Amino acid sequence: MSEIFGVPVAPGSPLAAPLTTVDAVVVAAMDEEIAPFEQRADQLAHQRHVGMARSVIATIGGRKLLLVRSGIGAVNAAAATVLAVHAVRTPIVLSAGSAGGLANGVRVGDVVVGDEYAFGNADASAFGYAPGQIPGMPPTYPGAPALIERAQNRPGVLTGAMISGDTFVDSRTVDTYRARFPRALTADMETAAIAQACYSFGTPFLSVRGVSDLCGPTAGEDFSLAIDTVAALAADVSLDLIDVPAPVTHG
């Protein structure tokens, strides 16, 4: 029998010691963002609901993945991630889905792989902390180095920093965030929370996001793509990075 904080946890409860090993955990905020993984699955099993999260074990190209739809926002994402890393043994957690393009030059439809993650709204600089740093935590949370290296060799994939927060970045605030986080390519509401949860448990992490809109669009730039469209692009890159074979198509 497992225990949490010294309290016994019965087998089969959400925080019991994991008995199942998967090749990856994928956490996405919305149904539209987890759907591309489910659609690529050869088999789906053991769908469950715990709190706000919905999970299913998917077999894709011979790999077993725990797919988790967490719900939107940092608290939902962190809670779902904690449950996931206690439910299964996994070598990697991926955050997948959509994001807003933050940096100049990022375009709608780009796929971005994060190499470091921070909270865009966190500011404890009065006490000597870096922008985006939670006191007691590192200045940024790192992405999984081996997968970042693979991503850097993929055409059409950008690598760089990502920020997260509970406020949408728009044309009124984009310049402030660009100045504060000059390496940040995208902004979303979940990535940094998942990264912090994984850091706390020593689990490697990577975020892969398709750019659905621009935080500070300029004249002549495309404004948005449907979330399911960019989520599918992010899913393809995510599966490629963890070596899931592409599906065979018949013409």
Catalytic residues: 33, 213
Tell me the C-alpha distance between 234 and 102, whole Å.
17
Q: Which contacts (CB < 8 Å, 24+ apart) does range 164-167 have?
A: 164/74, 164/117, 164/118, 164/119, 164/120, 164/188, 164/189, 164/190, 164/191, 164/192, 164/193, 165/119, 165/120, 165/121, 165/189, 165/192, 166/73, 166/74, 166/121, 167/120, 167/121
- Return the sign of the alpha-carbon dihedral for residues 195, 152, 98, 174: positive
CA angle 113, 75, 235 (to 5 degrees): 30
Do residues 186 and 102 make contact, with C-beta atoms less than 8 angstroms apart? yes
Range list of H helices, 94-190: 145-151, 174-180
Amino acid present at 183: R
210 token code pair: 């398709």
> Quick one: how far is CA 28 from the chain centroid?
6
Tokens 């500011």, residue? 123
Which of these, 55, 57, 60, lies nearest to 70 by C-alpha position? 55
Tell me the C-alpha distance between 197 and 81, whole Å.
7
